Amino acid sequence: MAGNPILFSDPQGLDAGSAQFPNLPQNSDFGNPNEHNSGGTYNADGICSPTTSESQTPTEEVVIKPTPFVVPTNNATIDIPRDDAYRAFAKAWDRFNKDKANSSFSTMILQELSRFAYENANNLQITVSNITTRLYLSRAATNIKGEIVNNNEIRDASYGILADLLTMGAGNAPKAADKVLDIVENLADVAEGVGKGEEKTIVIGEGMYRVKPAAKSVGAKWYQAWSKNFPSGRLMTEVELNAAKARNARWLKSKIKKGYKIYDIGPKGTNITSPFYELERNIIEETGYPTTPLLGY
Amino acid sequence: MTTINSDILKKYFNFLLSIFNFKLKEIKSYDYALYTKFLSSSVGIYFIYEFRDSIPQIQFTKLVSDELEQRPGLYTLKECYKEENFKLQSFYLDEIIQFKKGKEYNSCFKDVKTIEDAIKISAELIEQYAKDFVIGDKKSYDKMNVWFRNYVMLSSTTAKC
């Protein structure tokens, strides 16, 4: 690959006590956010054993709820608490957008994602071994419990993060970003339980007002555009619309690639007026992928 | 912004309330969409505007009860129309305009830049093409049903199985 795409000059720097945890409740499950930055070791269950200096106050135990699992597409083990990580990614993106000038939080997460990308692009084992990063992700997740509506939002947040990856000057970023997206989507799948042998299903059709109840009725996913991508008080420009369609297309192709069962509730009537459903139909036509008509909607 | 969109809708669709005695039954306004139901004693109008699609969908239903239900889509209608006595009493504005040989619905919105533009055009199209459906004219609904049955049964749009 060309050059060194993403620099992590000091990954352990994340562990050097400089990390800040804005908005972390002081009475969170993780205790004072600054207390463990200096180190400590975590056992396989994610229990933090304090270092010597910390052991003077041995009453505190930090649990970061790790749930190691295997990402199906590349067999890489990601040793992070999956739900927490996802929420953290989404939160990072949200914070990044709201306050770019004070984005130390999101920059750190972006760096982690960039490293995932780098490791993927080079077929390296993907790990999140850095203690502070793990703690950081978990703490971030603690802060946002209840804020994430569903995994579609998380997925869209990942798109946003990937978009930023592409602007970071990483030589191999586009390819790496694809890999990251796979990982992120797999994480979302697993978080939803579809990776546990349950049938993977999605619903497509014209009009989200029809698709959403249909998907809920069969316990399937549906494409949900993230509202933050909508311009305020106006419709999307052609460029924005194309980007939105590209996201939709990417989502559907990804599901096809993973062998999802696709329910199709079809057009609302005799005319297809939605460019998004038209796009989905075209992808289905082009790939010849089978869909199952879902009646009643 | 969501409140502004509601206000815009109320402004341009006020004719339903002031002239045709509709009541605003429900209005749900989000960053990404606007869903509104208008009810008269005999007709329900469901205004659906998911902004990413640029084009509002407006469904006219001759009510058989107080509830305005979502009309099923093409696949379900194809099955329904296999029964000879099935009569549809719910149509979208684009279908009504097509039935009346009006302008191609999507093209009416091709130059819109704002949500307000699209809502305004929707209201104008209703006044121009769908007043008989607004007042619940039985003959119009019945004629539309006959035309629509043929159109649906001839439609080649099916799911790829």
Angstrom CA distances, A76 to A122, A123, A195, B28, B134, stand at: 12, 9, 15, 44, 60
User: Does any CB of chain A come closer than 8 Å to the CB of residue B70?
Assistant: yes
Q: Do A230 and B32 touch (CB under 8 A)?
A: yes
* Token code pair at residue A44: 């396989």
Q: Which of A18-27, A65-74, A190-199 has the highest mean pLDDT?
A: A190-199
Q: Which residues of B touch A285 (CB under 8 A)?
A: 160
User: Does any CB of chain B come closer than 8 Å to the CB of residue A205?
Assistant: yes
Residue-level pLDDT at A59: 30
Partner-chain residue, chosen from B1, B75, B94, that has the shortest CB–CB distance to A265: B75
pLDDT band of A26, cuts 50, 70, 90: very low
* Token code pair at residue A10: 């000091």
Picking from A151, A163, A159, A116, the residue whose alpha carbon sits closest to that of residue A222 is A151
Picking from B34, B37, B55, the residue whose alpha carbon sits closest to that of residue B46 is B37
Picking from A158, A154, A182, A177, the residue whose alpha carbon sits closest to that of residue A83 is A154
Query: Residue A28 is which amino acid?
Result: S
> What ipTM was reported for this prediction?
0.89
Q: Which of A58-72, A95-109, A193-207 has the highest mean pLDDT?
A: A193-207
Instruction: Calculate mean pLDDT across residues A37-52.
Output: 29
User: Does any CB of chain A come closer than 8 Å to the CB of residue B106?
Assistant: yes
Look at A280 and A70; give whichever has higher pLDDT: A280
Picking from A83, A88, A79, the residue whose alpha carbon sits closest to that of residue A43 is A79
Give me the helix-helix angle, A131-144 and A82-98, nearest 10°.
Answer: 70
Domain spans in chain B, listed from the N-terminal domain onward: 2-154
Look at A14 and B147; give whichever has higher pLDDT: B147
Indicate whether A274 pLDDT > 70.
yes
Q: What does pTM read for this prediction?
A: 0.61
Q: Which residues of chain B have pLDDT under 70?
A: 1-2, 156-161
Domains with residue ranges and CATH for chain A: 67-191 (no CATH), 199-297 (3.40.50)
* Token code pair at residue A9: 């000059």
**Bridge partners of residue B46, in order along the sequence:** B37, B59
The whole-angstrom separation of Cα A62 and Cα A46 is 8
Contact A72, A186 (CB under 8 A): yes
> Among A38-52, A268-282, B16-30, where is mean pLDDT lowest?
A38-52
pLDDT in tens, A80-133: 334 444 444 555 445 444 544 443 334 555 555 555 555 544 544 444 434 434
* Token code pair at residue B78: 């194809």
Indicate whether A53 pLDDT > 50.
no
